[in-house]
Amino acid sequence: MKTPRWFTGNRVVSRLRIPIAGTLIAAAVVSAIATVFNPDYLVNVGSPTTPFSQNKQNEPALAVDANHPNILVAGANDNIDLEACNAGNDTTCPFTPGVGTSGIYFSFDSGGTWTQPTYTGLSARNCLGTVGNSDDPCTPQVGGPIGTLPRYYENGLVSDGDPGLAFGPKPDSTGHFAWSHGSRLYYANLASNLNEKKDETFKGAEAIYVSRTDNVAIAASGGPAGKFAWKQPVLVSKQSSTTFSDKEQIWADNAESSPFFGNCYLCWASFRSLSNGNGSPQPLAVATSRDGGDTWTVNQVTPASNNPFNMKQGFGRSGCTVRTDSNGVVYVLANQFAVGMPGQGSHILVKSFDGGKSWTKPQNIGLAVDTCFSVQFDGTDFRCVEDGVAGARDDLGSAPSIDIANGAPTGASATDEIVRTWVDGRDGVDHPHVFTSYSTNGGNTWTDPVAQETLALGDRGYYSAIAISPKGTDAYLVYNAFTTPFLNDTTSTRNLVGVVKHADISGVGALGAFTQLHRSPPGDPRGSSQNNLWLEFLGDYVYAVATDTYGAAVWNDTRNAADCLAIDTWRQAAQNAIANGTTVPAKPAPQQACDPTFGNSDIFGGSYGDPTPTP
């Protein structure tokens, strides 16, 4: 079955595929902590460095509690609970059926240190296998240790990553929202049915579910108490037997000045006809919850049709982002794909002025050019890549990331300035830009894009994200970049870095120059991998947040991943075979042919005090 290139997330559609004391965490949450910012931290601290693919993490998301800004929570695609390659056939490293991949990590000191809880669920950590293909296939352990979202297996579900996180106020028993009631964490992710052969829990291939907790301290402690600090996951997307819901983002209205304070909004791309091979029609959908995530109302906010001959429309839209301003206006931006790949797409904007009840027509706010400099076969279809032959996909590099200075948690002193970033390929393979732009009039007009990548160090932008402080005085930008040119071989070293920059904002709209706060040690992305080994894999996102005193960011990182000559050689031969219509050679067995840390992609991040604080 042929599927669109932006369906698969961290899984292949055809598969559908160290605890700490809660009392100590609780004390840390409520006490005044001496913040020590950490410019370069490992977020997925509970995940192993070996074997593949348990050591594979990517596609990070990040949220800060506006009412308790020392609390950060991150999510990622995390393979910690999957089987090792040596289980069963040693040349296959599959997504273990039924085992989830939505990782969760907590910090209570503004990103100085992190913890990754251990819960129980369906786990394949026990499936390490032996050398050779004679051992039995993996049998996951029911009630085994998991480092991913809990309570999915018990509900007939599999958490499938693509994380989105947001903090909002907690409602009381009457449905009234107030920060004095506490904070609620929302974690949106893809989910599939535990039983792939029938629509056991919902219809279709992939759906959007939301997990929630009102006590991050207990949730971070793991164990039974931590598991049940999470509410039951809730289905958000509308599903049919052919629906694949994908690439969601979530936001809670967190400014008390808003008339819709406490509302939660979730956007995603709804591929409605998976059975016809390309997912058409594919509208952008937005769901609204007014009761803390118990129930959701779904609106279609763009046309459904994907007419590839309509030069104004292009093929569908994805990579959405959602935010609210201090008056409760909701902004949803997304990437409108170009006709064909690569091509000149655009960013579109829809808004709601009534708390998500109705939405404006999509507005084209500017050119966004794909960074699709080569297409490579990924084992099921063809993917755009940016770093070289058999490289990491970059389907959503040109998708927008935005943030709004909405004055949270109170809404006071809000400027409501909107900042935006994306990666753009308009100047060709040697110069993929990290662009920024901003709007001071509710998104009606935007400044011309400005390139922010460090050209002197060879930065070729890959993914980017931006955040603005609640009072609108500071902006923080994070991006992944390749520092090596596009390579037509798999034998030459490639470099990937994470970069964080800061800019002062002197009055509304006076966005100053971005200067570097941090540059990560380089890593070779060839050491990352899809589970089927065909291409590298780094996911689709990076993320940033900002408070009035500091900013924080997370990025994909391969500094601890070992390149593998056997995999490099096979990837080149496999791409050559596809191009020439010849037989693809047999795959190597990673655990025998590679260094133990092959595939060890990580989530790294940093937190940075405002370098120019206001006296």
User: How far, in Å, CA of 122 to CA of 350, rounded?
Assistant: 40
Query: How do residues 409-428 score in pLDDT, each as one tens digit?
Result: 999 999 999 999 999 999 99
Query: How do residues 335-377 score in pLDDT, each as one tens digit?
Result: 987 655 456 889 999 999 999 999 999 999 999 998 888 999 9
- Backbone φ, ψ for residue 74 (5° rounding): -120, 155
The whole-model pTM stands at 0.93
- Measured at the alpha carbon of residue 240, what is the angle toward residues 377 and 289, in degrees to the nearest 5? 105
Query: How do residues 283-296 score in pLDDT, each as one tens digit?
Result: 899 999 999 999 99
pLDDT for 31 equals 35
Q: Which of 42-51, 153-162, 367-376, 449-458 has the lowest mean pLDDT?
A: 367-376
Residues 6+ apart with CB under 8 A from 299: 285, 286, 287, 288, 356, 358, 359
| Topology, domain 13-609 | Neuraminidase (2.120.10)
pLDDT for 28 equals 39
pLDDT for 308 equals 46
| 158 SS3 class | strand
pLDDT for 140 equals 97
| 30 SS3 class | helix
Report whether the peptide linkage leading into residue 409 is cis, meaning its omega lies within 30 degrees of zero.
Answer: yes
Residues 6+ apart with CB under 8 A from 71: 29, 64, 65, 106, 107, 108, 167, 183, 216
Q: Which of 179-193, 199-213, 339-353 has the lowest mean pLDDT?
A: 339-353
Residues 6+ apart with CB under 8 A from 334: 267, 269, 284, 302, 317, 318, 319, 320, 321, 347, 348, 399, 400
Residue among 15, 204, 7, 205 at smallest CA distance from 96 = 15
Query: How do residues 522-548 score in pLDDT, each as one tens digit?
Result: 999 999 999 999 999 999 999 999 999
Query: How do residues 65-106 score in pLDDT, each as one tens digit?
Result: 999 999 999 999 999 999 999 999 999 999 999 999 999 999
C-alpha 277: how far from chain center? 25
Percent of the chain residues topping a pLDDT of 90:
81
Query: How do residues 427-447 score in pLDDT, each as one tens digit?
Result: 999 999 999 999 999 999 999
Handedness of CA 54, 56, 61, 63 (dihedral sign): positive
Percent of the chain residues topping a pLDDT of 70:
89
- Measured at the alpha carbon of residue 420, what is the angle toward residues 419 and 423, in degrees to the nearest 5? 155
User: How far, in Å, CA of 574 to CA of 302, rounded?
Assistant: 39
pLDDT for 5 equals 32
CA distances in angstroms from 75 to 384, 566, 595, 602, 603, listed in the order given: 25, 32, 27, 12, 9
User: How far, in Å, CA of 244 to CA of 353, rounded?
Assistant: 29
| Strand locations in 148-263 (E) | 157-159, 164-171, 177-193, 207-213, 234-235, 244-252
Residue whose tokens read 């292009």: 314
H or E stretch at 64: strand 57-64
Q: Where are the alpha helices (DSSP H) in 198-268?
A: 216-221, 223-228
- Measured at the alpha carbon of residue 164, what is the angle toward residues 454 and 498, in degrees to the nearest 5? 20
User: How far, in Å, CA of 201 to CA of 193, rounded?
Assistant: 6
**Residue 280 predicted with pLDDT over 80:** no
Encoded tokens for 27: 């004390």
Q: H/E/C letters for each residue in 556-591?
A: EECCCCCCCHHHHHHHHHHHHHHHHCCCCCCCCCHH
Q: Where are the alpha helices (DSSP H) in 322-433?
A: none
Handedness of CA 266, 267, 273, 278 (dihedral sign): negative
H or E stretch at 512: none
Query: How do residues 227-255 score in pLDDT, each as one tens digit?
Result: 999 999 999 999 988 888 889 999 999 99
pLDDT for 396 equals 75
- Measured at the alpha carbon of residue 372, what is the angle toward residues 368 and 376, in degrees to the nearest 5? 155
pLDDT for 19 equals 36
C-alpha 508: how far from chain center? 30
Residue 614 pLDDT class (50, 70, 90 cuts): confident
Specify whether the CB–CB gap between 116 and 76 falls below 8 A: no
Encoded tokens for 113: 């240190």
Mean pLDDT along residues 556-585: 98
Query: How do residues 463-519 score in pLDDT, each as one tens digit?
Result: 999 999 999 999 999 999 999 999 999 999 999 999 999 999 987 677 889 999 999
Report whether the peptide linkage leading into residue 342 is cis, meaning its omega lies within 30 degrees of zero.
Answer: yes
Residue 315 pLDDT class (50, 70, 90 cuts): low
pLDDT for 536 equals 98
Mean pLDDT along residues 286-310: 85
User: How far, in Å, CA of 402 to CA of 365, rounded?
Assistant: 13
What are the residue boundaries of the structural domains of the chain, listed by start?
13-609
**Residue 314 predicted with pLDDT over 80:** no
**Residue 597 predicted with pLDDT over 90:** yes
Residue 18 pLDDT class (50, 70, 90 cuts): very low
- Measured at the alpha carbon of residue 477, what is the angle toward residues 185 and 450, in degrees to the nearest 5? 135
Q: Average per-residue pLDDT in the chain? A: 90
pLDDT for 510 equals 76
pLDDT for 12 equals 35
pLDDT for 414 equals 97
pLDDT for 318 equals 87
DSSP string computed for 282-348: --EEEEEESSSSSS-EEEE-S-----TT-TTT-S-EEEEEEEE-TT--EEEEEEE--SSSS-EEEEE
- Backbone φ, ψ for residue 593 (5° rounding): -95, -10
Residue whose tokens read 């370069």: 40
